[in-house]
Structure 1
């Protein structure tokens, strides 16, 4: 149930309950002061008193009043009064006529009434009121008038008050207090439950916000309702999850940044230290022969080249990470492209005693969108990485390619030492090397595969690695077909 509907129903209840309590209290008051709820008809307009709206005892009382004005002597006739007995019996009422403080006429139903306690002449009551006469309670109508001789006549139309009237008169304070208590309790309970249903989840949100403010992003809250607050709770929880993920990513970036600085410092300090040492050797005359000076200078040059290569790698990696490297994509046949590239590469590989095998299905479709120079950088990084670690007498590279309906896969496998299973998930991380000594004789900067992955992702492709110790490593590049890219962009 929504908060809006809950508040509407609560307001309706807060309006209807007082109305019901007011009507009940009015009914009780009417019973107390009129003696009979049916006497309310005397207060209604004439148009509402049609047919049976006026009670029969009221009509009889009005008839007697008219008789007292039109023909009082007939009213004082015992014969006439006795003719009213049957009518009085039908309405469970009795009649007393008092003349000058003496009872002139008394019906049988009222024989036990203590007539001494009847109201005095001049205290006429047109409408029914409850009067205690002796130990009895009567709903009584009184009418006073004079005869021609000046006698004071009082007419009493009386009926025994019902047990309900006595109950109401006796317990009215309790009933009224109970109605008031029910009214207060109803409004209090409605206010409590409605406010509780709103305040409790808000307090939970407040508590969760305090946790987030203090940096604790692990405190979760569960939406247990479908109203607006439940939707807010769900949105808050989704925000917390996103903040947690962003915080973890930011922490990972910070750790990567620290690691990057540490690796850069290490990889730059090593050649710089070497260069300084050899320059000091030349300056101090240690290289005292032309051959030794030439060897020192060659070493300095080699370290400078390594530093230049590392700086180029860092620059490219940073630009790729920031998305600042421009790509010139064109439609190429990857089969022909690889055939040309490996034909050029085969000369250098033969010098290193590396056998190259290129396998593909001639009937396949191998058109992709690629940047020729950037893709060549990917192949060079992967192959150079394989060549650095090959430790067998017969070195072998197997390049295979096959096409599916949506993708083209290019696999480069070597017969090197392989990579430990625990290192495989991190192999594409920047500066990661399975060989942790960071010896430049057994590996490069650790950026080659990271750069390769970033370039392939810019081609909307994927790159994955499989490796088995002592068997070798296989890296697979997955690129979408040119036709699939055209459909996606259109």
Structure 2
């Protein structure tokens, strides 16, 4: 049940309960003042069926009032009055008639009453009033009229109200107090349960927020309801899980960053140390022949170029990571692009004894949106990374091009030593570099494949790697045919 519905029902209950209790109290008060529950029908609207809307004693009372006007002599006859005894007994009502302050007629059960204790002439009422006569309490209807001789006559229809009236008068304060107690208890319980259902989960959220603020991301909370706070609790728990995961990633990122800084510092220090050594050799006259000096200078130049390449890689990676590298996308036929690229690279590859095998279907659609310069950097990083570790006499690169309705797939496979299974999942991770690559022959910053992955992702593409030890490694690049709008290409 939602909090909105719960509050709505609570408010309805807080309104309904007082109305019910007020109705009960009013009902009891009416009984006290009217003396008979059936008198309440006088407050109801009458229908065309007179006898259905009036009580029998009321009908009789009205008939006697009518007769007192039309034929008072007959009303005062003992025969007529005695004929009413049956009707009076049926409705459990007695009749007394007082004439000039003296008892004129009384039904048997009322004969012992003292007429002086009855209401005086002139206090006529059509509703029952409670009057104490002797030791008893009666609900009395009174009608006063004059006879032709001027005599004052009071007619009383009386019902014994002592038991019910005594009960109501005795227990009315208790009932009233009980109603007030029920009202207070109802509102209190409703407020308690509604507030408990809201405050308890809020306190849980407060406690969880306190733990998270203090760095404890393992404190878990569970939503026990599906209301708004339950949904908030679930969202809070999902946020905690994401924060924990982000914290792990950030920690790994920081560790990798520190490792990268250490590795970069090492890789920069190594060529600088070599450069300093060779310069000192030239300065101290160790390179005492033109040939030796030329060799020293060439070594210094090579080390400086390595440093420049390392710094360039680090700078490019940083800009890609920050999203500060501009891309110029255009329609490119990858088949023609790769044909031209490997034709330009063929001379250098032949010098390194690398055999290139480029395969594709002439019927495929190889048009994609790409940045030519950035994509060339991807190919260079992948091929250079492959060539670093090839120790075979005959090195092979096999490039296969596939086209589907949505994508173009470029497979670049080598016959190198392969990558261990425990390193394969991390090969594209930021700052990752397998330890075995850190030697004088291969070197590298470990950023090449990370840069390639970031560039391909900017193309809305995907890059994957599969490797088998002693057989080789295959990298797959997947580029979509149409992803960028005309605005992106302009």
Matches of 1:326 and 1:144 in 2, distance apart? 111
Q: Could you state the TM-score of these two structures normalised by the residue count of structure 2?
A: 0.82
> For residue 117 of structure 2, what is the aligned residue in structure 1?
119
- 1:356 Cα deviation from its structure 2 partner: 2.6
- 1:312 Cα deviation from its structure 2 partner: 1.8
- 1:62 Cα deviation from its structure 2 partner: 6.5
State how many pairs are aligned.
487
- 1:150 Cα deviation from its structure 2 partner: 11
Distance 1:67 1:443, change over 3 A: same
- The answer for unaligned runs of 5 or more in structure 1 is none
> For residue 347 of structure 2, what is the aligned residue in structure 1?
347
- 1:85 Cα deviation from its structure 2 partner: 3.0
> For residue 24 of structure 1, what is the aligned residue in structure 2?
24
> For residue 457 of structure 1, what is the aligned residue in structure 2?
457
Q: Deviations over 1:73-96 (max 9, x none)?
A: 877654454344344334322234
1:15 aligns with 2:22: no
Distance 1:151 1:455, change over 3 A: closer
Pairing of 1:165-244 with structure 2 (within 5 A)? 165-223=165-223, 225=225, 227-237=227-237, 239-240=239-240, 243-244=243-244
- 1:105 Cα deviation from its structure 2 partner: 3.7
1:414 aligns with 2:414: yes
- 1:423 Cα deviation from its structure 2 partner: 0.8
Q: Deviations over 1:234-283 (max 9, x none)?
A: 55455545555554554444334333322221211111122223333443
SS at match of 1:421: coil
SS at match of 1:17: helix
Distance 1:406 1:116, change over 3 A: closer
Asked whether the equivalents of residues 46 and 53 of structure 2 are also in contact (C-alpha less than 8 Å), the reply is no
Distance 1:368 1:64, change over 3 A: closer
SS at match of 2:422: helix
Asked whether the equivalents of residues 118 and 133 of structure 1 are also in contact (C-alpha less than 8 Å), the reply is no
Asked whether the equivalents of residues 96 and 106 of structure 2 are also in contact (C-alpha less than 8 Å), the reply is yes
Q: Could you state the TM-score of these two structures normalised by the residue count of structure 1?
A: 0.82
Distance 1:456 1:440, change over 3 A: farther
Matches of 2:402 and 2:143 in 1, distance apart? 120
> For residue 388 of structure 1, what is the aligned residue in structure 2?
388
More deviation, 82-91/143-152: 143-152
SS at match of 1:422: coil
More deviation, 59-68/214-223: 59-68
Matches of 1:40 and 1:268 in 2, distance apart? 105
- 1:134 Cα deviation from its structure 2 partner: 6.2
Distance 1:284 1:170, change over 3 A: same
Asked whether the equivalents of residues 85 and 107 of structure 2 are also in contact (C-alpha less than 8 Å), the reply is yes
> For residue 265 of structure 1, what is the aligned residue in structure 2?
265
1:305 aligns with 2:287: no
Distance 1:354 1:88, change over 3 A: closer
Matches of 2:372 and 2:62 in 1, distance apart? 118
Matches of 2:452 and 2:46 in 1, distance apart? 101
Q: Deviations over 1:156-184 (max 9, x none)?
A: 53223386555434433333333333222
Asked whether the equivalents of residues 222 and 234 of structure 2 are also in contact (C-alpha less than 8 Å), the reply is yes
- 1:421 Cα deviation from its structure 2 partner: 0.7
SS at match of 1:158: strand
> For residue 325 of structure 2, what is the aligned residue in structure 1?
325
Matches of 1:488 and 1:22 in 2, distance apart? 73
- 1:141 Cα deviation from its structure 2 partner: 4.3
More deviation, 326-335/100-109: 100-109
Distance 1:125 1:330, change over 3 A: closer
> For residue 315 of structure 2, what is the aligned residue in structure 1?
315
- 1:350 Cα deviation from its structure 2 partner: 2.9
- 1:315 Cα deviation from its structure 2 partner: 2.1
Distance 1:31 1:326, change over 3 A: closer
Asked whether the equivalents of residues 97 and 154 of structure 2 are also in contact (C-alpha less than 8 Å), the reply is yes
Q: Deviations over 1:44-74 (max 9, x none)?
A: 8999996665545456557767888999887
Asked whether the equivalents of residues 102 and 115 of structure 2 are also in contact (C-alpha less than 8 Å), the reply is no
- 1:388 Cα deviation from its structure 2 partner: 1.6
More deviation, 440-449/462-471: 440-449
> For residue 363 of structure 2, what is the aligned residue in structure 1?
363
- The answer for unaligned runs of 5 or more in structure 2 is none
More deviation, 256-265/384-393: 256-265
Matches of 1:431 and 1:139 in 2, distance apart? 101
Matches of 2:405 and 2:69 in 1, distance apart? 116
- 1:386 Cα deviation from its structure 2 partner: 1.7
Asked whether the equivalents of residues 329 and 371 of structure 1 are also in contact (C-alpha less than 8 Å), the reply is yes
SS at match of 2:357: strand
Asked whether the equivalents of residues 95 and 156 of structure 1 are also in contact (C-alpha less than 8 Å), the reply is yes
1:92 aligns with 2:92: yes
More deviation, 246-255/390-399: 246-255
